C-alpha cells in the first residue's frame, strides 16, 4: 500500500463551507485539491494558508458543471498527488434571483441543476472509476464520497424551486452510489447542513437572524462552516466504518418536528 498522504478533492473550496472542509482535512493529514470556479484569488489564499501550516494543497480552476472542468479536476489531482481517497461534492449555487416558481426560468434551472446535481453525479462517477482502479492496484485502502446537500432538500422555498429539487436529488444520488459502490470498497455519505454563515447566506442574514432568535432551530445559533467540516472529518477518519448511504444533519436540530 502507498505510504503517500491520503488525498481529498473538495469542490468549491475557495470560500465558505468548502474552505473550512479543505483546511480541516489538510490539518488532519490529507493533501487537498482546492477547487474554484471564478475566484482564483480566494483559492490561492486557501492554498497559502494550508502550506503555511505545513500541509499540501493545489488550486484547480474548474467548473463542476462542465465535463472538461471535471476531467481537469481529477487529472490535476492525480498528477500532483498520485492518488484520490476522498471526494467532497460541496460546490453549489443558490437559485439566481430567487424567483417565485411561477416565474422560474429554464436558464436558471440548467445552471442550478448543472452545478448542484449533474456535476456532482458525473464527477462521482469519474472519481469512483478512478478509486476502483486504485483500490485494485492497492494504491489506496478504500474510497469515500461525501455529498453536501441542504435542508432545502426537504423544506420548501417556493422562490428557490430549482435549488430545492437539485438538493433533493442529492439524497437519491447518495443512496444509489452507496448501494452500487459498497462492494467496490467505497462508502458514500450525505451531509445535510442547516443555515450556515457564508457568502451564500449573507444576503438573507437579517431574515435568518430573526428566525433563529425566534427558535427556528433548537440549538439557537447560526451554523458555522467549521461545524460542517467536523462532520466531514469524522467520516474521513473512518469513524463510520459500518455505515453507508447515511444522511448526517448538521443543522442545530432544524429537521426535528415538534408539537
Q: By C-beta, is 140 or 170 nearer to ligand NAP?
A: 170
Position among 9, 10, 11, 83 found at the interface with ligand NAP (CB under 6 A): 11
Footprint (CB under 6 A) of ligand NAP, residues 63-102: 63-65, 90-93
- Asked whether position 153 contacts ligand NAP by CB under 6 A, the answer is no
Position among 6, 55, 143, 193 found at the interface with ligand NAP (CB under 6 A): 193
Position among 23, 33, 35, 174 found at the interface with ligand NAP (CB under 6 A): 35
Footprint (CB under 6 A) of ligand NAP, residues 101-120: 115
Task: Report the C-alpha gap between 197 and 189 in whole angstroms.
Answer: 22
C-alpha cell at 228: 460542517
Residues 6+ apart with CB under 8 A from 18: 10, 11, 12, 35, 88, 90, 91
Position among 5, 27, 28, 42 found at the interface with ligand NAP (CB under 6 A): 42
Task: Report the C-alpha gap between 134 and 18 in whole angstroms.
Answer: 25
Q: Among this protein's residues, is 163 annotated catalytic?
A: yes
Strand extents, DSSP E, the chain: 7-10, 31-36, 57-61, 86-89, 143-148, 186-193, 246-250
Coil, strand or helix: which one is 67?
Answer: helix
Least Å distance, CB 115 to ligand NAP, is 4
Task: Report the C-alpha gap between 156 and 158 in whole angstroms.
Answer: 6
Q: By C-beta, is 96 or 185 nearer to ligand NAP?
A: 96
Task: Report the C-alpha gap between 72 and 53 in whole angstroms.
Answer: 26
Q: By C-beta, is 139 or 157 nearer to ligand NAP?
A: 157
Catalog residues that contact ligand NAP under the rule CB under 6 A. 11-18, 35-39, 42, 63-65, 90-93, 115, 148, 150, 193, 195-196, 198-201
Residues taking part in catalysis: 163
Amino acid at each position: 500500500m502507498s505510504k503517500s498522504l491520503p488525498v481529498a478533492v473538495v469542490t468549491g473550496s475557495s470560500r465558505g463551507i468548502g474552505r473550512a472542509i479543505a483546511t480541516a482535512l489538510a490539518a488532519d493529514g490529507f493533501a487537498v485539491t482546492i477547487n474554484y470556479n471564478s475566484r482564483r484569488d480566494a483559492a490561492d489564499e486557501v492554498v497559502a494558508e494550508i502550506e503555511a501550516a505545513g500541509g499540501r494543497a493545489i488550486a484547480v480552476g474548474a467548473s463542476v458543471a462542465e465535463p472538461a472542468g471535471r476531467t481537469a479536476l481529477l487529472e490535476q489531482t492525480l498528477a500532483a498527488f498520485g492518488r484520490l481517497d476522498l471526494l467532497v461534492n460541496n460546490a453549489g449555487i443558490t437559485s439566481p434571483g430567487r424567483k417565485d416558481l411561477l416565474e422560474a426560468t429554464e436558464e436558471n434551472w440548467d445552471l442550478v441543476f448543472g452545478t448542484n446535481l449533474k456535476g456532482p453525479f458525473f464527477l462521482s462517477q469519474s472519481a469512483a472509476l478512478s478509486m476502483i482502479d486504485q483500490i485494485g492496484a492497492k494504491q489506496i485502502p478504500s474510497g469515500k464520497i461525501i455529498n453536501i446537500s441542504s435542508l432545502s432538500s426537504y423544506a420548501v422555498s417556493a422562490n428557490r424551486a430549482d435549488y430545492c429539487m437539485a438538493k433533493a436529488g442529492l439524497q437519491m444520488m447518495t443512496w444509489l452510489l452507496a448501494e452500487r459502490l459498497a462492494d467496490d470498497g467505497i462508502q458514500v455519505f450525505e451531509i445535510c447542513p442547516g443555515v450556515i454563515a457564508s457568502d451564500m447566506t449573507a444576503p438573507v442574514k437579517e431574515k435568518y437572524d430573526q428566525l433563529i432568535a425566534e427558535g427556528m432551530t433548537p440549538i439557537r445559533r447560526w451554523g458555522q462552516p467549521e461545524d460542517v467540516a467536523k462532520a466531514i472529518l469524522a467520516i474521513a477518519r473512518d469513524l463510520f466504518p459500518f455505515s453507508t448511504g447515511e444522511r448526517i444533519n448538521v443543522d442545530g436540530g432544524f429537521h426535528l418536528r415538534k408539537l
